[in-house]
Structure 1
Amino acid sequence: MAAPSDPGADIASNAAQPPRRNPGSGFAAHMLPYPDLPPEQRIARLRERIFRAGSSGAALEKILRSLIQSEERVVRLTNLCQARSEINQTIVRLQTPAELFSVVCRIAVEYGGMRMAWIGMRNAETGRIDPVARYGEALEYLDGIAVSATAETPEGCGPTGWAYRTDRYFTVQDYATDPMVAPWRERALRHGLRATGAFPIRRDDAPYAVLTVYSAQPDSFDDEAIDLLREISKDLSFALDAIENARVRRDMVDALRRSERDLREKNEFLDSILQSEPECVLVLDAHRRLLRINEAGLRMLGAHTEEEVAAAGLLSFIQAEYRGAFLDLHRKACGGENGVLEIEVGGKDGTSRWLEIHAACLPHVGNEKPGFLGIARDISETKRSAELIWRQANFDFLTGLPNRYMFRDRLEQEIKISHRMGGLVALLFIDLDRFKEINDTFGHDRGDRLLVEASRRIAACIREADTVARLGGDEFTVILPQLTHPEEAEAVAGNIITRLADPYVLGAESVFVTASVGITYFPTDTQNADALIRNADQAMYVAKRQGRNRLAYFTEALQAEAKTRLHLITDLRGALPGGQLNVFFQPIIDLSSGRICAAEALLRWRHPTHGWISPDRFIPAAEETGLIVDIGDWVFRESARWAKRWHEQGLGSEFCVSVNSSPVQFRDSAHIRTWPKILQEQGLPPRCIAIEITEGLLLDADAAVAESLSWLRDSGIPIALDDFGTGYSSLAYLHKFPLDHLKIDQSFTRNLETEPAARTLSKTIVRMAQELGLRVIAEGVETAAQRTFLENAGCGYAQGYLFSRPVPPEAFETLLHADRSPG
């Protein structure tokens, strides 16, 4: 065995070393005959030829041996040089260590003159150096061979083991004599292996593998051969690094391509979603430049291409009155604040649409400041439907004037303004004298034409800030706000009376109609809308009693009624402790079965002196004084007590009692939250008591009211909206507040048989409530025809005198028993 003292030292050899020459620079491949014979046979043949030629002597044989050895050395070095050249030419095309190792082993044998070559790597689990590539003859030598990477066993002390551990090459010039290879001597000689060399292959500045080559001849590894094999191992290390770098580059390129492909696919996917999105999606930068808009957005704007919108500028599509609001929305969104805005846009195709835009911040648009992301949906149909329903609910179908619902809202608004800013509000009630006679004489068509003309004449007498409304039939009202002196209203009323007295041309006929007008003032005559309406109505009847075609004021005699009301309030304070209040129940009927399914609890007052007092008289007084809070609690407890009794009698597990509430009660949310506790104390399920609220509560509802309603409903108590359709903002309530039941106001029901508008509105309300999942109850049903119409319209429930008047609880219990009895 021979090993260098350091990686660059020459190995020691027992054989004499010839002078080192550059392979291939002064020798032919073979200078003597018989190159294919073993050395001894070759010498014998040459000696025989020399003897025949007459030469002799041992000196000649010695010369022959030296020549043969030199020739063999030249051949080996030439082969190794060629092998290295082949390896260097080949490794540039290889992509994996496995391919490289296989090629090196093959070239070492085929070009390097080796009998066999293998490359081994350390097995981390066994600690052995296992072959990972092999080539040549005597491959059976490697089958089952044990080469260890550690020095603790003899199998680890061979050339391969030492080369791996020390990162230095080792050679064995003769297996037959070198003790280093004792564990493998017999096996190697049996397979014709006489010399071996092990050369470490480094990677990342550490041992990685070992190239082990075998020769069939002893003393095959001289300095030049070792240098060449060391260079080959270095070339392998360089090739491994190059392969790894190439792999890293390929992986990076593949990863980049995958990323580009994924990004492209993701963009294509997102773009397909964007283009298939039915809503408008638009992206603007911080300077309001259009960056993207989808196909739905182009359709909404009546444009064909994104470039067309960008060139015109998005603002040019927005109606002028909404541009400021949109700019504000854009500014807030770019600042990180979400927002919603309804705008009207005019398309390039001449269309007009309403859009609801939901805006959010889009960070880092175009590597600049945050931008604007808008999702817009076309709400034109919703707007038109809402506008139609709103107009039908708030405007008179015949004249186009505000109806009684809109009138009431306008009056309350003007009263609020007067509270804040001062000034008089005058209310005029106008009734056409003897209009019924004209209607009966000339027919309803001409009567309607007269009403339309009368409404036009009244409207021509008032200011833009004033309101004229038709309450129904031949009754009109006029609201005159912000007056300085009462005489201003008197002048308007006089002008109206004069204009209405002019002749009306109805076809070939001319007819004359006069008007009676009643006037009252806020705040001099009263402090609330209801009283103001009553005052004006009473004054109008005074004008009629005085001969018609004139005006009358709210008089002192009418003022006496106000004093009576004060006495009423005084007596009301003692009604509850005096046991004068009663709870009556009016059944609610399931129209499909005709059975009683629920009841409404109604408060009644039996005055010890005046008898039964109308709720219309004492409930407003109770609300004004705050007495309604204690009275309302008492009604709630009484209703719950009777409902519990009827449940225990088995009169219906789903039977529900509706209890009216007042806006005054909702001023204290803590008070409202005691109601579920009352039901719990009585052992009554929350679903058995419903709370009826009015639009008056919702009109001025703040966050606390909305929270209280939601809390009640979350507690299991249903919420019903009473007198639906009598307020200005009815439609907004349906999605803004948590509602379960909707009660159609009796003013609709009462006019079902006489007014087409009432029928249309009732059908519309029923359909709308059904779409929203609300239970619809019609109030004030008094005739079979009204019931039939409502049932055909899809209304599920009704109450009214047709079924029963409100009755005491004992009488209602009798009704329930009769309703539940078979047959």
Structure 2
Amino acid sequence: MSKYSIYCNGDISEQKRAELLLTGQQRILDMMANDDPLNDILTELALTAERINPGIICSILLLKGNQLFHGAAPSLPQEFTKAINGIHIGSCAGSCGTAAYHNKLVIVEDIATDPLWADFKHIALEHGLASCWSIPIVDARNKVLGTFAIYHRTPATPTHEELKLIDTFSSLASLALGHERTKRKLEESEQRYKSLFKYNTDAVFTLDVNGHFLTANKAAIALSGYSRKELLNMSFTLLVVMEDLGKTLKAFRETLNGSPQNFEMCFQNKQGERIHLNITSVPIVVNENVTGVFCIAKDITDRKLYEEQVHQLAHYDALTHLPNRHLLQERLNQTLSAAKRDRHMSALLYLDLDRFKVINDSLGHDIGDELLREVAGRLLTAVSDTATVSRLGGDEFIILLPKIANQDEAVTVAKDILENMQTPFNIRSYELRITASIGLVFVPQDGATADELIKRADMAMYEAKRAGKNTCCIFAKEMEDHALQPALLENDLHHAIERGQLSLYYQPIIDLVSGEVSGMEALLRWHHPEYGFISPGIFIPLAEETGLIHSIGRWVLRKACLQSKRWQEEGFRPIRMSVNISMKQLQERDFHQHIKSILDESGLEPQFLELEVTESTIMQNEQTVIENLTQIKALGVRISIDDFGTGYSSLSYLKRFDVDTLKIDKSFIHDLPDHHYGHVITTAVISIAHSLNMNVVAEGVEKEEQWKCLESIKCDAAQGYLFSPPSSVETLQPLLETGRWNERET
């Protein structure tokens, strides 16, 4: 035996030690079972070890963070206990600090000479402590909870039996600490459970396996309108409205089967009020058996009402309460599918009031608005309940007849509407007479898409105008052929600038964080004296094909830069002006010189001009285009990629051109936030673009939920009809004066 070993000191036999260990373990386990205080259990543990091996002094320290704190040390001098309380663990922090730091047994035979005690030996020696063996106390995952240490008043080294004793008592200490942690968690869970019932402002209740109320907090009782006595033992299903009963019972059964549920339903309280709830239900499990259901119900009635209001605003015209363009297109798409599937005929009537502008301008907008409401009422009475009467805006209405027997039936409806309009409208003190012009198309033969059908019905309506008004014209292919005949349009387009037929409209770009107007996109419009507004989708390709795009493009750039500078001179905050540039323009060798010349003439600083090009334009990698883009960037002008997602969609490739802004095409935005893949793709594009230091603008934002979704996924800015349609300078004046978009005004 080593000269330092003192295991056999005293007269205690091996049998006696075994008995002391056994009774000590049982006493400690009994204390745990009785939920005695942790300090008492640890103290008894230390004393038991000291009884088994007289002469040793035991210490238990508990680890919190990176410090060891006093747990139990009944035989250590109190001054020493206080001195080491809060010691930081480390690679040279005495026996206990080092054992906890490295998670391994540390044996120091002589504190006076061992380097681990270099910083602490004076404390130990001062209190007559000469050696210290320390082992970490760990949990089932080998995480250090503290240390169990044995001190001697003389230098000593442990025998094999003493090492087993240390290991045994560290395991007992681990068990005690684990028991304390479990007890604390149970107490916290119980307290949270009580708090849920007592303090939760949401309704909290439990149901038995038959769906009867077992318990309910004050919020649940108040929500139901019943007294506690009435509510308890009542079946929850008695409160559920009939239309939601099926899904509620399904959720209840799924919960009883062990699957937590989250669902929305509506119930009717004792007073007859309908209340919408969002319910989270989880099974109550006792001894592995489901004995009931625990529910937390949040009152979402206000949210539901708000959603209904949002739906109303998104799908219905605010003035007439008729379906708007968005809802019309949904129903028209459904009608198209049904017509193709079932091989029946439908019809679309495009109605525009004759001379409405005269009434509106001479008698005022209030009278005009009342007249439009009256017209809407008459249109509803003139058609069947299955028809959709919608207002596109202004004095334009569209009537969708989802199923007709033949073309004559639709013509009869149109004639009835025209006859109905013959009766004067009595608005306040005025007797107003007004007529209408109607364009008629048939589904599906006159168009494969909703947009195509509306456009052709519009053409037919203008034919009715040209035919003298107050009549109906059926669409014929010749109308489209004439309207889109390139030779005729090309000749007119040559003179469009000099005749003042071209104009710029501007659509604001809104910063989604601040709500400020961060930019304007200049959009070219052609108002033809005979055909009215011609779609840019028609005349821009024609201009590119004929080479007119060069002169028209320079005119657009010059006018947009002058307008941007004029707004600055009028005192408005400088914002970026975005102008679309075609491939043809970028192929001009001196195009960047034209940009510089226009900037010099207008006085607009380069950083306030942003040129929009399509991704397919720069992906062609044409040398002239690359050189122009490089020279344009050198001027300080920003580059934006328009309609991103419709071409190659290579973000890394775009970065080669030092692109500043990425505009996500409206096709990705249209179904947000409901369409999962659109949401995922949009989020990914924004994230990658930001990592490449690109600004991201979403196009075609028409609904508030799209705006909220884009805001949540960190999109920088957006534009679309939710904020403003493309508008004239005069119309945009109020928005520029405030400098920010206010959603309450939309």
Q: TM-score, normalised by structure 2?
A: 0.54
CA separation of 1:382 and 1:258: change in aligned 2, threshold 3 A: closer
TM-superposed deviation, 1:554: 0.7
Matches within 5 A, 1:252-291: 266-291=189-214
* Matched letter for residue 653 of structure 2: I
String of CA shifts for 1:759-792, please: whole Å, max 9, x gaps.
xxxxxxxxxxxxxxxxxxxx54613x62433552
The correspondence for 1:723, drawn from 700, 711, 731, is 700
* Matched letter for residue 678 of structure 2: V
String of CA shifts for 1:618-667, please: whole Å, max 9, x gaps.
xxxxxxxxxx9845855999999877666655x4xxx86443326655xx
In the alignment, which residue of structure 2 is the partner of 1:397? 318
Contact 2:618 2:625 in 1 (8 A): no
Contact 2:669 2:698 in 1 (8 A): no
Instruction: For residue 665 of structure 2, give the secondary structure of its aligned residue in structure 1.
Output: strand
CA separation of 1:277 and 1:789: change in aligned 2, threshold 3 A: same
Distance in 1 between residues matched to 2:250 and 2:738, nearest whole Å: 49
TM-superposed deviation, 1:454: 1.6
Contact 1:298 1:304 in 2 (8 A): yes
String of CA shifts for 1:793-820, please: whole Å, max 9, x gaps.
73399xxxxxxxxxxxxxxxxxxxxxxx
CA separation of 1:597 and 1:277: change in aligned 2, threshold 3 A: farther
String of CA shifts for 1:153-173, please: whole Å, max 9, x gaps.
xxxxxxxxxxxxxxxxxxxxx
Distance in 1 between residues matched to 2:724 and 2:286, nearest whole Å: 58
Contact 2:572 2:736 in 1 (8 A): no
* Matched letter for residue 278 of structure 2: E
TM-superposed deviation, 1:533: 1.6
> CA-atom RMSD, angstroms?
5.0
Instruction: For residue 446 of structure 2, give the secondary structure of its aligned residue in structure 1.
Output: coil
Distance in 2 between residues matched to 1:397 and 1:796, nearest whole Å: 17
CA separation of 1:712 and 1:443: change in aligned 2, threshold 3 A: closer
The correspondence for 2:252, drawn from 312, 330, 350, is 330
In the alignment, which residue of structure 1 is the partner of 2:39? none
Contact 1:694 1:723 in 2 (8 A): yes
In the alignment, which residue of structure 2 is the partner of 1:319? 241
Distance in 2 between residues matched to 1:512 and 1:705, nearest whole Å: 49
In the alignment, which residue of structure 1 is the partner of 2:391? 470
CA separation of 1:442 and 1:708: change in aligned 2, threshold 3 A: closer
CA separation of 1:259 and 1:408: change in aligned 2, threshold 3 A: closer
* Matched letter for residue 693 of structure 1: D
Contact 2:212 2:234 in 1 (8 A): no
String of CA shifts for 1:702-747, please: whole Å, max 9, x gaps.
544333222212212554332322x6974675578663322143x9
Matches within 5 A, 1:143-222: none
Contact 2:344 2:403 in 1 (8 A): yes
String of CA shifts for 1:108-131, please: whole Å, max 9, x gaps.
xxxxxxxxxxxxx9873569xxxx
The correspondence for 1:782, drawn from 729, 733, 739, is 729
The answer to whether 1:384 aligns with 2:363 is no
Matches within 5 A, 1:499-578: 499-507=420-428, 509-561=430-482, 564=485
Distance in 1 between residues matched to 2:248 and 2:51, nearest whole Å: 72
The correspondence for 2:741, drawn from 775, 787, 795, is 795
TM-superposed deviation, 1:550: 1.9
TM-superposed deviation, 1:459: 0.8
CA separation of 1:372 and 1:600: change in aligned 2, threshold 3 A: farther
CA separation of 1:337 and 1:464: change in aligned 2, threshold 3 A: farther
Instruction: For residue 369 of structure 1, give the secondary structure of its aligned residue in structure 2.
Output: strand
Contact 1:302 1:351 in 2 (8 A): no
CA separation of 1:644 and 1:267: change in aligned 2, threshold 3 A: farther
In the alignment, which residue of structure 1 is the partner of 2:642? 660
* Matched letter for residue 789 of structure 1: L
The answer to whether 1:692 aligns with 2:614 is no
The correspondence for 1:353, drawn from 275, 283, 288, is 275
Contact 2:615 2:643 in 1 (8 A): no
Distance in 2 between residues matched to 1:298 and 1:387, nearest whole Å: 27
In the alignment, which residue of structure 2 is the partner of 1:179? none
CA separation of 1:693 and 1:342: change in aligned 2, threshold 3 A: farther
Contact 1:345 1:354 in 2 (8 A): yes
In the alignment, which residue of structure 2 is the partner of 1:164? none
The correspondence for 1:712, drawn from 657, 665, 685, is 685
Distance in 2 between residues matched to 1:532 and 1:703, nearest whole Å: 29
Range with greater deviation from structure 2 (558-567 or 309-318): 558-567
* Matched letter for residue 678 of structure 1: Y
Matches within 5 A, 1:416-815: 416-439=337-360, 443-507=364-428, 509-561=430-482, 564=485, 594-597=573-576, 599=578, 601-603=580-582, 630=616, 633=619, 651=636, 657-661=639-643, 664-665=646-647, 671-672=648-649, 674-675=650-651, 677-682=652-657, 684=658, 688-694=660-666, 697-699=669-671, 702-715=675-688, 716=690, 717-725=694-702, 730=706, 733-734=709-710, 739-745=715-721, 749=724, 780=727, 782-783=729-730, 786-792=732-738, 794-795=740-741
TM-superposed deviation, 1:458: 0.7
Distance in 1 between residues matched to 2:656 and 2:464, nearest whole Å: 57
TM-superposed deviation, 1:555: 2.0
Instruction: For residue 321 of structure 1, give the secondary structure of its aligned residue in structure 2.
Output: helix
Contact 2:387 2:401 in 1 (8 A): yes
CA separation of 1:510 and 1:782: change in aligned 2, threshold 3 A: closer
In the alignment, which residue of structure 1 is the partner of 2:218? 295
Contact 2:586 2:628 in 1 (8 A): no
Distance in 2 between residues matched to 1:333 and 1:732, nearest whole Å: 32
CA separation of 1:384 and 1:635: change in aligned 2, threshold 3 A: farther
* Matched letter for residue 305 of structure 2: R
Contact 2:213 2:233 in 1 (8 A): no
Distance in 2 between residues matched to 1:327 and 1:123, nearest whole Å: 64
* Matched letter for residue 734 of structure 2: T
Q: Rg larger in 1 or in 2?
A: 1
Distance in 2 between residues matched to 1:504 and 1:632, nearest whole Å: 58
String of CA shifts for 1:36-85, please: whole Å, max 9, x gaps.
xxxxxxxxxxxxxxxxxxxxxxxxxxxxxxxxxxxxxxxxxxxxxxxxxx
State the identity %. Answer: 24
In the alignment, which residue of structure 1 is the partner of 2:109? none
Instruction: For residue 542 of structure 1, give the secondary structure of its aligned residue in structure 2.
Output: helix
CA separation of 1:466 and 1:738: change in aligned 2, threshold 3 A: farther
TM-superposed deviation, 1:468: 0.7
Q: TM-score, normalised by structure 1?
A: 0.50
Between the two proteins, the alignment pairs up a number of residues equal to: 488
* Matched letter for residue 794 of structure 1: R
TM-superposed deviation, 1:256: 12
